Amino acid sequence: MHIGIIGAGNLGTGLAKRLLAKGHDVVLSYSRDLPKLDRTARALGARAGTVAVAVSSAEVIVLAMPYTASADALKEVGESLHDKIIWDCTNPLKPDLSGLLIGTNTSAGEENAALVPNANVVKAIPPFAELLHSVTMDVGGGPPGVFLCGDDATSCRIVANLVKDIGAEPIIVGKLVFSRYVEPANMLLVALAYANGLGPRVALSLRRGSSAAVSTEALAV
């Protein structure tokens, strides 16, 4: 697929590396240091461009910048993203990682969706970048789980396949409003990894009994 990534930091480059390895075409964008962006993209085998270039031919656009930069990143392209799929990876973390800037009565997923009213936003927070950049993604003997939600079922399935391509296990939970719970769940993981000292080789997963294995599409909608 043609994938435009907005943000070329720890997460954006980790996703780019794994998506390129699966044969996807990747354009990296949105850095305050354009020569560095160019070097980073070239080293990975991706292309570098402006946000407008990254989104123009993309079938899936990945939000991999800080949540607080969303409005700036999307300001030139927000209204133009008709029917495009947006894979929103942002978690609205406080800068010191001590908690979330917003949550439970709204979410970064919903606030970002309001910036791109014509697009199909899918919230799916990937595993830690340290895992994406390491040889194996497996944690405790299996792939990390990624909870995923969005209002358009086709877009959710497409992002779920990309989540598999990066080596993680997608768990589709329902409509975009579930971002209100997906984001705090990932905040818990951040706290365990960094405040509680477990480190980044930790991940979420869902364990369910056989009677709960009724659907791989959605646990609740």
Ligand X SMILES: NC(=O)c1ccc[n+]([C@@H]2O[C@H](COP(=O)([O-])OP(=O)(O)OC[C@H]3O[C@@H](n4cnc5c(N)ncnc54)[C@H](OP(=O)(O)O)[C@@H]3O)[C@@H](O)[C@H]2O)c1
Output 158 or 187, the one with its CB closest to ligand X. 187
Give the residue from 136, 145, 97, 90 showing the smallest Cα distance to 115: 90
Q: Are 49 and 26 in contact (CB under 8 A)?
A: no
Which residues ranging from 39 to 78 are in contact with ligand X (CB under 6 A)?
Answer: 64-67, 69
Give the residue from 108, 121, 148, 118 showing the smallest Cα distance to 62: 121
CB atoms within 10 A of CB 216: 10
Q: Does 143 bind ligand X (CB under 6 A)?
A: no
Question: Which of residues 11, 115, 122, 166 is near ligand X by CB under 6 A?
Answer: 11
Question: Which of residues 93, 160, 162, 204 is near ligand X by CB under 6 A?
Answer: 93
CB atoms within 10 A of CB 115: 19
Question: Which of residues 9, 133, 138, 201 is near ligand X by CB under 6 A?
Answer: 9
Q: Does 30 bind ligand X (CB under 6 A)?
A: yes
Q: Does 178 bind ligand X (CB under 6 A)?
A: no
In the chain, which ranges are continuous DSSP H helix?
10-21, 34-44, 51-56, 70-74, 108-115, 129-132, 153-165, 179-190
Question: Which of residues 74, 90, 109, 147 is near ligand X by CB under 6 A?
Answer: 90
Number of residues binding to ligand X, judged by CB under 6 A: 24
Stretch in the footprint of ligand X (CB under 6 A) among 9-17, 43-51, 77-85, 146-154:
9-17
Q: Does 91 bind ligand X (CB under 6 A)?
A: yes
Closest separation between CB of residue 12 and ligand X, Å? 6
Q: Does 129 bind ligand X (CB under 6 A)?
A: yes
Question: Which of residues 16, 89, 116, 148 is near ligand X by CB under 6 A?
Answer: 89
User: Which two tokens mark 14?
Assistant: 């980790």
Q: Are 163 and 203 in contact (CB under 8 A)?
A: no
Closest separation between CB of residue 122 and ligand X, Å? 14
Q: How far is Cα 209 from Cα 9, in angstroms, rounded to an integer?
A: 38
Output 153 or 168, the one with its CB closest to ligand X. 168
Q: Does 33 bind ligand X (CB under 6 A)?
A: yes
User: Which two tokens mark 142?
Assistant: 């299996």
Question: Which of residues 4, 78, 126, 174 is near ligand X by CB under 6 A?
Answer: 126
State the sign of the Cα–Cα–Cα–Cα dihedral 156, 168, 64, 185: positive
Give the residue from 128, 114, 112, 143 showing the smallest Cα distance to 187: 128
Q: Does 102 bind ligand X (CB under 6 A)?
A: no
